Amino acid sequence: MRNTFIAALTERAATDERIMLLTGDLGFRVVERFQERFPGRYLNGGIAEQDLIEVAAGLALEGYKPFVYSIASFPTLRCLEQIRNSVCNPELDVTVICIGGGFAYGQLGMTHHATEDMAAMRSMPCMEVLSPADPAEARAVAAYCFESTSPKYVRINRGGEPELEGAERVEGLPVQGLRGLVERARRAPAGVEGAAGAADVAIVATGAIAKEALEAADLLAQAGISCEVFTAPLVKPLDAEGIRAVAARTKLVATLEEHTVIGGLGSAVAEAIEDARVDGAHGLAPVLRIGIPDRFPDVVGDQRYLRQRFSMDAEGVTRRIREALGRA
Amino acid sequence: MAEALDRTIEAEEAVATSGAETVAEAPEESSAISVSPWVANSLVPATVDLARRVREDCLAMTSRSGAGHIASALSVVDILAVLYGSIMAVDPTNPDDPTRDRFILSKGHGGSAVYATLAELGFFDKNDLLKNYYANGSSFSGHVSHDVPGVELTTGSLGQGLGVACGIALAARLRAATWRVFCVMGDGECDEGSVWESALMASTQCLDRLTVIVDRNGMQSFGPTDDTALVLGDIAEKFRAFGWKAVDCDGHDHRALATALATPHGGQPLCVVAHTVKGKGVSFMEGDIRWHYDSASPQELGQAFSEFAGQGDGFPAGTAILRSGGVA
Ligand SMILES: Cc1ncc(C[n+]2csc(CCOP(=O)(O)OP(=O)(O)O)c2C)c(N)n1
């Protein structure tokens, strides 16, 4: 996805001369094409993320459209107050790009896990939070960033992710269409032609881990449980209407994110449903938040291994949903 | 390969009887340097031999697991060998000994070199390391982890270690303790503003139990520090301007390192800018940025090992062989 996003950015920079790419000494074998084509609009600001954000803010104040590239927690948590005060408060058109969302850099260790980033970014006024699930969404997210003038945070897994089921629906979306949940799949147990809109569970996932949700849908169907799967490329603003509609027609809404269960997609979905209840809505499904529990991994592991360890892989998701539905 | 890895007693004895020189001119006030009784008992092989074995371990570990940063590890090996082999008071049988000297690898991505050094000293089983480095379910994350015996602090986010080292040095003074703190940083790491905040803290507080060693290999993520990112210039001069005692030395010459580390610095923190070569010791890795990322194929590993075999005890060329406790 990172190459997809940077390729889109490079192409766009040919026609949008405001676009700049700032890197915090990262992106070897990724950013070079941009650098070659637009050397004057490429800047390696060194291993100095706080400064990089401030510089991006200054450029944006003067009408440039900077994209700041780094990995893990470095472009968010490392420079959180700079983002808050210098980017969000003045509502500047700065896009922060994180490669390595979740456990993408698993074995490198906890300093290289981006697992609280969405919570921190979501909590910033004006900040939009985008988290593509596959290359199709990465292209759509890039197109969205080219139009939006808000502060933006883009969380990308890494490289080499496959297109997921339903990718063609993303390709056809108008830019603002990305604000809605993306319907990915619907599974019913063999022989049961589930009435449209009456699935037992709806899984809402964000980021590359959506792949596990799609596999879980198959496993659930085998266990006699019907399932819908959506992706949320925008975690903020979240499609609250869409969430509410889904919650009204299912028994359980399960969220899946490679991120702490505190403050990310699961929290956003639960908040949207609770807000709907306050507005008087009835019969909305409860929310099962699947994500990283409130602790750091106790062992080393690659992305797959850590997903499994925290019951966030297809089997774990299936198990958690079956337990929640009382059909374990 | 197993043969090379398991080369132990014989090689150690060979060095011990080779009439190895000790560092003769330890400066007058060198009583500041404490040498562990464990070291004085000569259980540590000569530091040059230690360095060679650590290089072999690092190459084997990263090659086997596909982990990156081998060049960053090779760059720092001689610094670690001199520190652990002849200067720091540490006890592998009691890693948490309250009187131990503390060590923080702030450039956490060089972690394989610290693990290998600790394993060679006997902090834990070397075979465990060779087998489980970077492996699912283990403690040996790519960036150095304090879940491993002998490691004080998990690092990986650059610019993190020096401030913590300042806190430890402050605690040493508050407790009137005699142990010291050593912190190794990358030169690119010195881009981080936090480094310079800590540098001011250290000089303001006259933290003379603190020594920082900058692994000045002149490279960071894209290539030469000063050409690809920020201009670092004369790092020792910068530390002097920040109130430190600072010296330059050859970071692969063990005698020069030991002498530099023995520089009297009463009342001030000491900075040793160790001039090194990224990828040191493997001809095809030296100075090639590719090895910040790639790991050696089995064939490349064989090639690297054959270079060590050719070097015998003379590695690196022109380096004085330093005996354990030689600087006392
Ligand atoms: C805060 C932070 N930003 C970025 C990185 C990614 N990163 C890892 S190693 C590296 C280059 C380090 O260069 P240097 O400190 O000179 O060490 P070397 O590998 O050359 O020994 C970078 C940018 C990081 N680990 N931490």
- Name the DSSP class of A84: I
Q: Say whether both A149 and A186 belong to one domain.
A: no
Asked if B231 has any chain A CB less than 8 Å from its own CB, the reply is: no
Domain that includes residue B70, residue range: 2-313
- B197 to chain A, any CB pair closer than 8 A? The answer is no
B291–A contact, CB cutoff 8 A: no
Mutate to test the pocket of ligand 1, among A22, A30, A47 (most ligand atoms within 8 A of CB): A47
The reply to whether B328 falls in a domain is no
Give tens-digit pLDDT for B33-59. 344 433 433 333 489 999 999 999 999
Whole-number pLDDT of residue A79: 98
Distance from C-alpha of B27 to C-alpha of B31, rounded to nearest angstrom: 9
Residues in A touching B220 (Cβ below 8 Å): 25, 46-47
Instruction: Give dist(CA A310, CA A107) in Å, integer.
Output: 15
Residue A162 inside a domain? The answer is no
CATH assignment of the domain containing B248:
3.40.50.970
Per CB-CB distance under 8 Å, the chain B contacts of A28 are: 221-222, 289, 292-293
Q: How many domains in chain A?
A: 2
DSSP 8-state secondary structure symbol assigned to residue B20: -
**Residues A197 and A320 occupy one common structural domain:** yes
Give me the number of domains chain B comprises: 1
pLDDT in tens, A233-290: 999 999 999 999 999 999 999 999 999 999 999 999 999 999 999 999 999 999 999 9
Say if residue A12 is in the same domain as residue A148: yes
Residue A171 lies in a domain: no
Structural domain contains residue A165? no
Single residue among A87, A122, A156 that ends a domain in this structure: A156
d(CA B318, CA A270): 66
User: Does the distance separating the beta carbons of A109 and B141 come in below 8 Å?
Assistant: yes
> What is the per-residue pLDDT for B282?
97
Interface contact flag, A301 B155, Cβ < 8 Å: no
DSSP-derived pairing of the beta strands A252-260 and A201-205: parallel
- Which of B107, B214, B228 for a ligand 1 pocket mutation test, highest count of atoms within 8 Å of Cβ? B107
State the pTM of this model: 0.90
In a domain, B180, yes or no: yes
Q: Which atom of ligand 1 is nearest to the CA of A26?
A: 23
Which portions of chain B are predicted below pLDDT 50? 1-45, 312-328
Residue B326 falls inside a structural domain: no
Ligand 1 binding site (Cβ under 6 Å of any ligand atom): A 24-26, 47, 74, 78; B 72, 75, 107, 109, 156-159, 186-189, 215, 217, 219-221, 278, 292
Q: Which residues of B touch A107 (CB under 8 A)?
A: 65, 67, 134-136, 141-142
Tokens of A187: 């599974």
Instruction: Work out the end-to-end distance of chain B between its first and last CA atoms, rounded to an integer number of angstroms.
Output: 36
Measure A253 CA to nearest chain B CA, in Å.
Answer: 31
Kindly provide the b/e burial profile for residues B30-51, where b requires at least 16 CB atoms within 10 angstroms of the residue's own CB: bebbbbbebbeeeebbbbbbbb
Are A208 and A152 members of one domain? no
Q: Considering only the beta carbons, identify the residue of B108, B111, B188 that sits closest to A47.
A: B188
Closest approach of A119 to chain B, Cα-based (Å): 19
DSSP B321: P
- Give the gap in angstroms from C-alpha B139 to the nearest C-alpha of chain A: 6
pLDDT for A41: 98
A257 and A319 housed in the same domain: yes
Predicted pLDDT of residue A190: 82
pLDDT at position A196 is 58
Residue A89, in any domain of the structure: yes
Please check whether residues A243 and A107 belong to one and the same domain.
Answer: no
DSSP B36-102: -HHHHTT-SPPHHHHHHHHHHHHHHHHHHHT-S-HHHHHHHHHHHHHIIIII----TT-TT-TTSPE
A25 neighbourhood in chain B, CB within 8 Å: 188, 191, 220-222, 228-229
Q: What angle do CA B41, B43, B46 make, to 5 degrees?
A: 105
Interface test with A, best of B61, B134, B144 (most A CBs within 10 A): B134
pLDDT score of A172: 83
| Mean of pLDDT over chain A | 96
Per-window interface: B 51-110 vs A, CB < 8 A: 65, 67, 108-109
> Could you tell me if residue B319 is inside a domain?
no
Ligand 1 center to B284 CA (angstroms): 21
Reported ipTM: 0.95
Considering the domain boundaries, does residue B324 fall inside one? no
Mapped onto helix, strand or coil, the DSSP state of residue B273 is: strand
pLDDT of residue B179: 96
Chosen for mutation from B70, B105, B128, B141 (greatest number of chain A CBs closer than 10 Å) is B141
Percentage, residues of chain A above pLDDT 70: 98
Q: What's A310's domain CATH number?
A: 3.40.50.920
Task: Verify that A213 and A144 share a domain, yes or no.
Answer: no
- From B63's Cα to the closest Cα of chain A, the distance in A is 15
In this prediction, residue A323 has a pLDDT band, given cuts at 50, 70 and 90, of very high
Residue A316 and residue A216 in one domain? yes
CA distance A274 to A272: 5
Last residue of a domain, one of A156, A188, A210: A156
Nearest CA in chain B to A304: B136
User: What CATH number corresponds to the domain at position A151?
Assistant: 3.40.50.970
Determine which of B128, B230, B235, B288 to mutate to test the interface with A (most A C-beta atoms within 10 Å). Answer: B230
Range of the domain at A52: 2-156
A108 with B292: Cβ contact below 8 A? no
CA–CA distances in Å: residue A191 to residues A319, B1, B163: 22, 59, 64
Are A220 and A115 within one domain? no
Q: Token match 């303001």: residue?
A: B204
Instruction: Give the residue from chain B lying closest to A29, CA to CA.
Output: B222
Give yes or no: residues A111 and A235 share one domain. no
Contact B149, B95 (CB under 8 A): yes
Ligand 1 centroid to residue A81 C-alpha, Å: 22
CA distances from A184 to A131, A243, B169 (A): 15, 14, 56
Does residue A163 belong to any structural domain of this protein?
no
Amino acid B113: pLDDT: 98
Residues A12 and A101 in one domain: yes
